[in-house]
Amino acid sequence: MNNAALRHWKQQQRARLRELRQQVPVTQRMLWSDAITAVLTQGFPFLENQRIGFYWPHQGEYDPIPAMTFLRTRGATLALPEVISKDEPLRFIEWWPEAPMKKDIYGIPFPDNTRGITVDSIIIPLLGFDEQGYRLGYGSGYFDRTLAAMSPRPLAIGVAFEILRLPTIHPQQHDIPMDYIVTEQSILHRTDTGLVPLTAPIVQSETA
């Protein structure tokens, strides 16, 4: 596929997946979301000791707030992304329940003037994902730019429903794969040969 064809294909997939995500019945979404919350809170015990970047849910994305506030009660420090400008990396700033909030250019709430945090792991929403752990987002490249700019690179944990899975998103040079993807069915770990489902909780030494 040439560049123009790829751009067109990605736009079509984004529209299709957004539609698919919106059409999930509320009760189904609640069951899937509860399953993802259980996996996030039980499958990654090391998150309790980390500074975690996550996201404020937008347009039918899985809501990570319950899982994150639980991890906070266990000791985690939480941070949300601030959009600085369309071509800069996101900046993570501290969030806690009841932190003062304002809205970014997309109408997504973020903390109002709290302190910047260097995060250890980032929980990333996936509009789509593929068998190699690559992500399809809204098309502005924020998370790729953000991961590329961070050294050491934080652990990237994508979250998505299984219906958003594609064989390939035709990754480009700038695309950075997720380390793990959590769905309502399992934790998928990215290896050189593709995503592999995990059956036991991850211990911290495996992520170092």
Give residues in contact with ligand FFO (CB under 6 A): 55-58, 61, 81, 83, 90, 106, 108, 125, 137-138, 140, 142-143
Q: How far apart are CA 43 and CA 36, in angstroms?
A: 10
Cα distances (angstroms) measured from residue 79 to each of 97, 114, 164, 207: 11, 9, 26, 21
Closest separation between CB of residue 147 and ligand ATP, Å? 8
Nearer Cβ to ligand FFO (129/142): 142
CA distances to 118, 124, 177, 192 from 189, rounded to whole Å, are: 24, 15, 11, 10
Q: What are phi and psi of 56, to 5 degrees?
A: -85, 125
Name the token pair of 185: 């069915």
145 binds, among ligand ATP, ligand FFO, none (CB under 5 to 8 A by kind): ligand ATP
Per the CB < 8 A criterion, the answer to whether 165 and 156 are in contact is: no
Q: Is 59 annotated as a binding residue?
A: no
Tokens linked to 108: 């997504």
Of 77-85, 95-103, 130-138, 158-166, the window that binds ligand ATP (rule: CB under 6 A) is 130-138
Looking at beta carbons, which residue is closest to ligand ATP? 137
Does 10 belong to an annotated binding site?
yes
β-sheet with 51-53: strand ranges across: 91-95, 77-82, 51-53, 121-125, 155-159, 180-182, 187-191, 194-198
Q: Judged by CB under 6 A, which of 54, 142, 161, 180 binds ligand ATP?
A: 142
Work out which of 63, 82, 120, 144 binds ligand ATP, going by CB under 6 A. 144
> Is there binding between residue 74 and ligand ATP (CB under 6 A)?
no
12 labelled ligand-binding: yes
Residues lying near ligand ATP in the complex (CB under 6 A) are found at 10, 135-145, 148, 174-175
